Structure 1
């Protein structure tokens, strides 16, 4: 026995396996061992098992249909009253319903493929991108054969439930888009901020003294009295502000903004001008504000101009001042609309 044959036995190749020799007696490749013996599934040999699998697939598709209906019910059935509990309930109901719809549809499709569709091993040879007429006719024949093998024609229960699941599945998207409501128009141009309105801590409340803020401080603030607004969530979404204190010499205010800060304290809208996410990550060393959604980065020392990311507009600045007792007030409201810029502005 040669060294190569002994090596084959040592690696469990068996006496029937031979190796082609290259230069110097080095093995180059194995002979094609062929395909292993095909193992049939229960559904291939037992009609009862096939019918059982068919019913299981149908049940999963019906569950997907139920999930799609529940998404719509969750969207239109939960009425908002402005409370976080209602928002939490609606979000959980939509999420669970969407999970049921997607999960059942996916598992049903996988179970169908694993248990009922043919699993014979085949070899598909590559061919030119544009086949001949005969090859194209053959492709059509293969597609027809695949349709027959999938069982759509002879398994009406799966076919009908699949059609039902496919029809209902995209319907919730219509309600999702409708739920976004109309474009805000000029609504974001008007916030609750007015001249003389005090800055208060969010969410605990309480006015803020300029002397209470140390270098590097970051405070989330709201206008005083916002709790009395009827639509408090909408009011907060537009009026959210970040208050930061830097060394005064680091600031580079533009023309007309020289008095918008107080001893290095600046106030900027917290709503990203890209997609409206809350800009809440402050890098104290670089004086950059980062939006966690899409990584838009704003330079606080240069009027929060965009230095990185998809945002195209600086964060609007809120002019501030101090009263006789040292409390921070707004000089006026924002001079431009807050929030994202993906609609036309006047």
Structure 2
């Protein structure tokens, strides 16, 4: 007898409906007097940004549907079945399974819940399910859980795309360039073997590499500007390596990791991709997420964070894609487009 209290994390998965049904069924097996289902959706910190209200709206729609499912599955039962809903993660940054497990454990402790029912296809905003690493983290934090024994749908996605010269040439060019970066572009043997490797890779993988046929908007002038940018990026990488090395060698180890947000003045697509990857290539900074014109960047030391806010890489990317005139803009710090994501989201 007594009551049963369950935590059910939800995500848009093929098995979420079955998971809710199993949770209700398993919660009623011991014939409790009451069953309370805590339906929660975990979202990343960015969902609180006004431009990304769709994330919160989608979470609330999912919660509404799940409440309806619980009511349907609890029809004609003697126990008192109720639901409580919550959106988790709007005041913190949930990055990996560890963060999700700790958030679920804290919620379970606050509401005195018995166990968590886990969807085997649970993937909160990730590109792939987090099941196995999440299970390990749940065990680490001591939160009792059970994986819903639901039937997973078969996947029938198309793997091979249609053949096209743009796919073939793009993959050949990328493979050939990468081979020469690892080898010696001035040595005839590396040129020959690089060509052979590029052809093999393009012939075997061009059908499955690109979801859509790539386009080539690059002009000769942009290629020239990019050739100027590469040495600049290498210098920035070397400088950042020296700074990180000095920090590591100092006995006090003045490491101050922070998660930051920067609103850039580069358009989404290839320019934003180039900026995000350039930031990641520079030691001390790691681009965690790029969305529209906003970058979420992890910075390891204060100097790396200051360089990021000074916007040198941003101006260089604008130079590559839009010319010298567009590079003369205020830094993200001067524009007020920087934020350090601490408790409460302190701006810098």
Q: TM-score, normalised by structure 2?
A: 0.20
Flag the structure with higher helix content: 2
Question: Which has the larger Rg?
Answer: 1
TM, length-normalised to structure 1: 0.20
